[in-house]
Structure formats: structure tokens, C-alpha cells
Amino acid sequence: MKLLTRVLVCMFGLVHAAAFAQSVPMTVGYTGISEFAPLFVAKDHGFFAQRGLDVELKRMTLTSTIPAALVSGSLQVGGTTGVNVLQAVDSGLNLKVIAGVTVTMHTDRNFAAVRRPGVPIRSAADFVGKKVGVPGLGAFLHVAFRKYLIVHGVDYRKVTFVEVQIPQMRDALRSSLVDSVIAPDPFLTRIVQSGSGEVVSYFAEDLPDSLPSSSYVASTQWVEAHQQSARAFREALTQGVAWVAAHPEEARHIVGKYLSMPPEVLATIRFATLDATQSQAQYAMWVSIMREQDMLRNTPDLHRLIFN
């Protein structure tokens, strides 16, 4: 009996050691927007750990810095915009989309063009000659807003765009550094509630449905060496998406933990359409939009870009 017990203990120890040895460390970069709720949930509720992933979350200031961080190895996975992904690949970086963050829908109210009170901006045409703050030049909100201007017959080259970090957008409006900002939640809600800005347009209504606003990306080298982990990461996020849909109030509290948002702002967060899966067809829409704005030199190989 004692021998059997020792054998069982040894077997348990070997299994435990094997599981520990298979744990894959991953540093995942994210930015300060509520769309990363499923990522936060998957971390806090153990969805990653259940799949053998040792995930460390790292907050990044700008999405535009994430592709370079992936290639350098300081991040293994990063949440960045579809635009940044295609630009990085167009410039020669070897990246793969391994999961989705969000997609746009005509009814989205989680980002908007916001004017400074007193500035006469009421339509797309009124942005001509104005200074508009965007989270990143050439990033999702910048390119999507230019698409909105194009749809309404406005030459976006007649608008001055400047880069303003999302947490500083309210101050940029208050100090009259810009006439308008293109802001995402939860900062959009904070700007409007404080009286620092007024919504001009929830311009998602002028974008295609199911356009990938953000994606999780990794270097091709990392994905090829960790295909099982990449799929496990996507599975955990899918579980996180379902959890957020079933527990929106609790999800807001978790978002507050990672983004340091006050309760009064968190209570009004409107989650975007969360989707952990993305396809070649969805990225083809970005290719069309970016070509319209002369942003791509080459034709991206979407079959190689999207990891299945």
C-alpha cells in the first residue's frame, strides 16, 4: 500500500512538473481602451492559465509601437489596429494576426469625433481647416475618420491632424490645442461628461460592418514556434468575449482595474462588438480603404497574414 502511495505521488509530481514545463510565458501588450476587456477577463479568471499560458499584461502608450516590440521580442503578442498591422507588413515586418479584438458595426457608439465647445463643427464639411487630434497618425481612428470624410465628399488633406495621446485628449480640448479629437471609450465618455467636448459624429455608421478595428498580432517566427499556444490564446479570448457578454457590469470593474477609470466613467462604458476571430475577407476591406488613402505600396498576402 505504501509502495502504491509512493508511486501515485511520484506520478502526480511528474504530471505536475510536465504541466509546469509546458507553461508558455507570454507578454501581451495592450493600450488604454475598454475593448481589451476579454483580455483582462481571461487573465483574471484564469482562462489563459487553464490552457497552459503564463500571460503577463503590459500597457503600451501607442498602438503604433507594438509591431516593433513584437519583432524585437519585448512582446510576444500585441493588440494593435488593423491599419497598423497592414502598414507594418507593407514595410517588411513578418507578422501574423492570431486573434481578433473588436470589429466595427454601424451602430457603434464607443468612438466619435468630438469638438471643443464653441467651435463651429456640425458636419463633415466643417472639419476643413480645423486641427483634429488623433491617437496615432495612420492608426485606426485616424484612417477611419478620413474614410468618414471621404464618404461625405470632404478632402481629408484639408484637415490638419496631430497626434494626441488618448489620456491627454480632454486636456488638449480644454487648452484649445486642437479643435476636435477622435476619441474612444472610456475617454470619450469622460470628455463628454466633463463638458470638455461635444459629439459631432459617431462615424462608425459610415464604415463597413465587421471591419477589424483591432487585432492580436505576433511575429511570424513566434507563431511558427508556438502554434498550439497561439490557438490556445485565441480560445481563451473567445471564452473572455462570452464572459463579458454575460457579465457586463463585472467586466466594467475589471476594465477599471487595468485602466484606472473612476466608477462614474466605467458605468457608462459601451463595449464595442467584441470578436476573437478575424478573416481574410475582413482584412480585405482594410486593404481597399488604405489603398483609397494611398497607404500601401504592395499587395498584402492575406492568406499568410491570418493565422488559422
State pLDDT tens for residues 162-178: 999 888 999 999 999 99
Give me the pLDDT at residue 137, please: 87
The yes-or-no verdict on residue 233 having pLDDT over 90 is yes
Element (H, E) at 70: helix 66-72
Task: Give the mean pLDDT of 282-288.
Answer: 96
Q: Pick the closest to residue 33 from 67, 80, 77, 74 (CA basis).
A: 80
- Environment class of 36 (CB within 10 Å of its CB; exposed 0-12, middle 13-18, buried 19+): buried
Query: CATH 3.60.21.10: does it fit domain 2-104+210-305?
Result: no
User: Which CATH number, 3.30.465.10, 3.40.190.10, 2.40.50.140, 3.20.20.140, labels domain 111-206?
Assistant: 3.40.190.10
Give me the pLDDT at residue 195, please: 96
Give me the pLDDT at residue 21, please: 43
What are the residues facing 228 on neighbouring strands? Answer: none
Q: Break the chain into its structural domains and give their ranges.
A: 2-104+210-305, 111-206
Single pTM value for the model = 0.83
For the stretch 113-170, pLDDT in tens is 999 999 999 999 999 999 999 988 888 899 999 999 999 999 999 999 999 988 899 9
- Domains 2-104+210-305 and 111-206 equal at CATH topology level: yes
Give the integer Cα–Cα distance in Å for 180 and 108: 19
Which of 4-18, 19-33, 275-289 has the largest mean confidence?
275-289
Helices of type H across 194-279: 220-225, 227-246, 248-259, 263-266
Give me the pLDDT at residue 32, please: 84
Q: Pick the closest to residue 183 from 161, 159, 164, 156 (CA basis).
A: 164
Q: Average model confidence (pLDDT) for the chain?
A: 90
For residue 122, what are the CA distances in angstroms to 159, 178, 188? 15, 16, 18
Under the banding of pLDDT at 50, 70 and 90, the label for residue 22 is low
Give the integer Cα–Cα distance in Å for 287 and 11: 53
The yes-or-no verdict on residue 69 having pLDDT over 90 is yes
DSSP for 92-112, please give it: T--EEEEEEEEE--TT--SEE
Task: Give the mean pLDDT of 233-259.
Answer: 95
The yes-or-no verdict on residue 16 having pLDDT over 60 is no
CB 198 within 8 A of CB 179: no
